[in-house]
A and B are shown apart, each in its own frame.
Chain A
């Protein structure tokens, strides 16, 4: 019968219209600024740097090995290692910039990082009015505490923490064993010098330093909640 298909269509749309008052399955819209979508833990937008403890400078896990800089497909990471007074390269970044306007959120830097230092954030409200400066994130804006990482992605954070603790324990054991072996080999029980731990990751808690000099906060810096 001609017209049956159209009537069927009317029936379907009417069913959806009425059904949307009874089941939430037929409604998918969120009233955005008031109601926020709960992002899954794995969701990613832009990378940030994890630091342990309270001091964002000393607790930074990053050792400025520059692997992520090499692996980054759009080349949006820029790292300059810190140097001490003698000009020797230290295992810390002096400049660590990520250009969020170039970054495409592909997570390759996270996979490449051997120190679990760079992780993916899930912020999405970072629109700015100026193209040039505000989206170029510097180390101070990128450094976020480990507790924040636990907040946004508890699954990964716990896994990373246990792994790092395990590595640290093993390194300490290795250092102890090396020290003991050295002591035995030297056969000078009194004058044994403990070897420095061979692990490069500086997870050693330094004494809480006085608060670092406050960096001039840019007015356009997006505030993460």
Chain B
């Protein structure tokens, strides 16, 4: 079993070991000594083990850090010997806001967590509130939720494939192809929900409005036509490309037992060969009615994590087409469920769904008032970053960028 020492670096180049009562590091210091937030970003560190360690600060607004994310890395030549993620630059105290808002007013705020796939955020929150208040959504609503949730997954993975290739240095073609397709899906969603990214579409026990048959037909036409073409093109363009294989295979290998222990979820966990998909395990909503496969990787390297997304997109298309085929008629909203002025009974609930980046959970405590007493987001991106250092140690600096890209973080969710 993996023990939890954070730096399994060959040596700890920490010359400023101070006697702190609580933490091993004094409060006002980075692991490398004085905080480099205001100081120089590049300086050499000398200790008795290494000739010259170079400490650099990647970020916080380097384009390849996917937001405002900083990595304090110590380099021995080109090899990373230590890497500490620093975040909080986008901290908006989402959870504190959640305690001062009513249950309904939190739905638009959840859009701002993972702003690349807001539909699944809405879904996770609504799922948790339904658990908390004991609401059962209607049949038609469940099917539409599956359609929208999988569409959100596709949008997220399309983005990720583009951005990951951008990190690899293939400036720009795959990203533009990806964004072109994402644009089409966002246009469809704008027609339905009124917004391109902040949908605010899910309600407790239903959806905000019903989905028209015409819209569904156009979505189906798109997924079977242009989007299928995009997937095949992207496959032909990337999956057999020798340069991509050379750069991604064998980098950032994640062992399954470490992945489980460190709470790594989502496609990254499955890339390590752990068969764990919450859609299959929890069978939340109506996922047990669909026939889909969970892709599994073998090596747990960056290439596997990239391929997971490519394969999951195809599975998501399958799920959407099945859900459209079986879509029942009936009301989309539960007439008994109240969205405005919802006051659940006192109690607590933890609801989780499989969002594109991993397991997104909401932990809510109600004390019978219109506002949640405690509102907690379990953000997948944040917890997946726990083992960023373990993945990057011994890799080159250029590979850390790809590894970070393959973990698929969104800083809106990491910092909340």
Instruction: Find out whether A and B make contact in their complex, taking CB atoms under 8 A apart as touching.
Output: yes
Chain A residues in contact with chain B, CB under 8 A?
2-6, 8-9, 11-13, 16, 25-26, 28, 39-40, 42-44, 71-73, 104-108, 111-112, 120
* A residues near B240, Cβ cutoff 8 Å: 4-5, 8
**Within 8 Å of chain A (Cβ to Cβ): is B183?**
yes
* A residues near B190, Cβ cutoff 8 Å: 39-40, 42-43
* A residues near B243, Cβ cutoff 8 Å: 6
Whether B183 and A108, one on each chain, are in contact in the complex, defined by CB atoms closer than 8 angstroms, is no
A12 to B102, CA, bound (A): 51
Known: A5-B241, A28-B183, A105-B195. 8 other contacts (CB 8 A): A5-B240, A6-B242, A9-B236, A9-B241, A12-B236, A42-B191, A43-B195, A71-B104
Whether A16 and B192, one on each chain, are in contact in the complex, defined by CB atoms closer than 8 angstroms, is no
Sorted nearest first, the 7 A-B pairs with minimum C-beta distance are A106-B108, A73-B105, A5-B240, A44-B194, A40-B191, A5-B241, A42-B194
Query: A71-B105, A108-B104 in contact; A43/B237 too (CB < 8 A)?
Result: no
Cβ of A2 to closest chain B Cβ, rounded Å: 6
Whether A3 and B242, one on each chain, are in contact in the complex, defined by CB atoms closer than 8 angstroms, is yes
* B residues near A42, Cβ cutoff 8 Å: 190-194
Of all chain A residues, the one with the shortest Cβ separation from B195 is A44
Interface residue from A25, A43, A107 paired with B200 (Cβ < 8 Å):
A107
- Chain B window 24-51, contacts with chain A (Cβ cutoff 8 Å), 1 for yes, 0 for no: 0000000000000000000000000000
A12 to B234, CA, bound (A): 9
Whether B101 and A9, one on each chain, are in contact in the complex, defined by CB atoms closer than 8 angstroms, is no
B contacts with A, residue count (CB < 8 A) = 36
Query: A6-B243, A42-B190 in contact; A28/B180 too (CB < 8 A)?
Result: yes
What are 15 A-B contacts defined by CB distance under 8 Å?
Answer: A2-B242, A5-B240, A5-B245, A6-B243, A13-B173, A16-B177, A28-B184, A42-B191, A42-B192, A42-B194, A71-B340, A105-B198, A106-B198, A106-B200, A108-B105
Query: A25-B226, A73-B105, A73-B109 in contact; A13/B200 too (CB < 8 A)?
Result: no
Cβ of B183 to closest chain A Cβ, rounded Å: 5
Interface residue from A5, A39, A73, A112 paired with B108 (Cβ < 8 Å):
A73
Cβ of B335 to closest chain A Cβ, rounded Å: 15
**Within 8 Å of chain A (Cβ to Cβ): is B280?**
no
Of all chain A residues, the one with the shortest Cβ separation from B341 is A71
Of residues 231 through 268 on chain B, the ones whose CB sits less than 8 Å from some CB of chain A are: 233, 236-238, 240-245
**Within 8 Å of chain A (Cβ to Cβ): is B61?**
no
Of residues 202 through 252 on chain B, the ones whose CB sits less than 8 Å from some CB of chain A are: 208, 226, 233, 236-238, 240-245
A43 to B199, CA, bound (A): 10
Interface of B is mostly: helix
Query: A43-B190, A112-B340 in contact; A104/B180 too (CB < 8 A)?
Result: no
* A residues near B108, Cβ cutoff 8 Å: 73, 104, 106, 108
* B residues near A2, Cβ cutoff 8 Å: 242
Of residues 102 through 159 on chain B, the ones whose CB sits less than 8 Å from some CB of chain A are: 102, 104-109
Cβ of A71 to closest chain B Cβ, rounded Å: 7
Interface residue from A4, A40, A73 paired with B101 (Cβ < 8 Å):
A73
* A residues near B233, Cβ cutoff 8 Å: 12, 16
A26 to B177, CA, bound (A): 9
* B residues near A11, Cβ cutoff 8 Å: 236
Cβ of A47 to closest chain B Cβ, rounded Å: 12
Cβ of B107 to closest chain A Cβ, rounded Å: 8
* B residues near A73, Cβ cutoff 8 Å: 101, 105-106, 108-109
A179 to B237, CA, bound (A): 77
* A residues near B242, Cβ cutoff 8 Å: 2-3, 5-6
A43 to B195, CA, bound (A): 6
* B residues near A71, Cβ cutoff 8 Å: 102, 104-105, 340
* B residues near A44, Cβ cutoff 8 Å: 194-195
Q: Which of B104, B109, B192, B237 has the most CB of A within 10 A?
A: B237
Query: A5-B242, A71-B105, A104-B108 in contact; A120/B194 too (CB < 8 A)?
Result: yes
Of all chain A residues, the one with the shortest Cβ separation from B225 is A25
* B residues near A25, Cβ cutoff 8 Å: 226
A106 to B339, CA, bound (A): 14
* B residues near A8, Cβ cutoff 8 Å: 236-237, 240-241
* A residues near B101, Cβ cutoff 8 Å: 73
Of all chain B residues, the one with the shortest Cβ separation from A42 is B194
* A residues near B339, Cβ cutoff 8 Å: 111
A44 to B106, CA, bound (A): 19
* A residues near B194, Cβ cutoff 8 Å: 42-44, 107, 120
Of all chain B residues, the one with the shortest Cβ separation from A72 is B105
